[in-house]
Structure 1
């Protein structure tokens, strides 16, 4: 039996993972559930934990901020996240595995089985390196999807990154505008997606706007710098971001021509 905790700021994600583990992984005992890294630290301080199911993108401190407090010889991590862009960083953090939301039951079972076997082995460098190599292989396959999962209250919307035209801020929410004209509103701030999305393709042009350069049709300075996207949407570029935008357009054009 492995003692485990779930760390995730989203109530639906916490409850659904708890249910999946209860129904499908008999050797996992949930010792606690945390809504933040701070709560997770408290659980680790008062419990002997074998396995952490750790979300990455959380307000305030993210999942990686918990890593320094984890005694790697005793406690192991399976990252759970909606963003496959974190793959390389997950490898560097010595995670046992990396599950992309919405979590697939078979992938969860496989991850738990690997964790069970790995934890049972002596903690030699050989075993540690082997575990990381297996994770690297798994991540290289998952990364090809280039998708993110957007929490919508009742579950997740799985969206291809290339289908995102632009994202606008609406108070503490982010509104995703997709190429098929759909809109998805997510209760996370724009900064989180600025950090997640591929930097060569997406750029923050205003405090309330991120655009996908794939959809840039033209830009002009008739009324301040303004972008016109292929969908016809017009997006203002703030003065302090104008020079960064111009540099990004140049580098993106070169990047795109090299493909």
Structure 2
């Protein structure tokens, strides 16, 4: 097992030292190459060391943690966000973080996050570019931790929804309408693209500019009236011509991976 070269980036001394202790005690395949109190110090460490993993705080003065992300574009680096504020979760997901840990950090969650980052980095070291699309999707099914629930804003607060209960999502101007397995509908004031980026791509696919479906509820698809899908609840949804080839490929991968599990 190779060792992950890591840095800790946090402006709070206690947070830095406690995370360092946890990593030393419970993650023996992580080597801390340096500790930074700011994004600018993190950049300096990245220039000095071959870093695989960054534990990155978000709410820091001058520059927040997200401002380091563009500097990582050409590096084989995984990021685990560490923060006391759960409202950053959506943005962390969009930044393709390996994981997102809330302070105080739970030991089991930390170990799971490090193991996940290790798998992603191992995949790259073993020529991930040579994997077929199906193999990559298989890895996603077997190993990649995905969003399991969504917090949807409502008029009186928020509604927590298990993603497996979502049959499909439709767009209505700048609103998204969630259709649930028991027939309930929830309308939220966010565009469909936001949820396309958040939801696990192996399970949810956009088939039209105004529709995302959960492949777990796909019963059949046909071209009687132009390509359309039929869900188990009987709903029929059109597949746009522009997205038809991507949809067919996604279904092929989905069914193959499911049959291999």
1:53 deviation in Å?
Answer: 4.8
- 1:139-170 CA-to-partner distances (Å, cap 9, x unmatched) read 99xx5881121122432211111111000001
Partner of 1:34: none
- Structure 1 residues 183 and 208, CA gap change in structure 2 (3 angstroms): same
Which whole-Å CA distance do the structure 1 matches of 2:95 and 2:159 have between them?
Answer: 24
2:101 is the counterpart of 1:98? yes
Partner of 2:16: none
Which whole-Å CA distance do the structure 2 matches of 1:215 and 1:202 have between them?
Answer: 10
Which of 89, 113, 126 is the matching residue for 1:136?
A: 113
- Structure 1 residues 233 and 67, CA gap change in structure 2 (3 angstroms): same
Partner of 2:203: 201
Which whole-Å CA distance do the structure 1 matches of 2:111 and 2:94 have between them?
Answer: 13
Which of 231, 246, 249 is the matching residue for 1:247?
A: 249
Partner of 1:169: 171
Which whole-Å CA distance do the structure 2 matches of 1:82 and 1:156 have between them?
Answer: 15
SS at match of 2:171: strand
1:83 deviation in Å?
Answer: 5.3
Partner of 1:190: 192
TM-score by length of 1: 0.53
Which whole-Å CA distance do the structure 1 matches of 2:220 and 2:198 have between them?
Answer: 25
Partner of 1:148: 150
SS at match of 1:231: coil
Stretches of structure 2 lacking an aligned partner (at least 5 in a row)? 1-9, 13-56, 72-80, 118-144
Which whole-Å CA distance do the structure 2 matches of 1:186 and 1:138 have between them?
Answer: 35
Partner of 1:257: 259
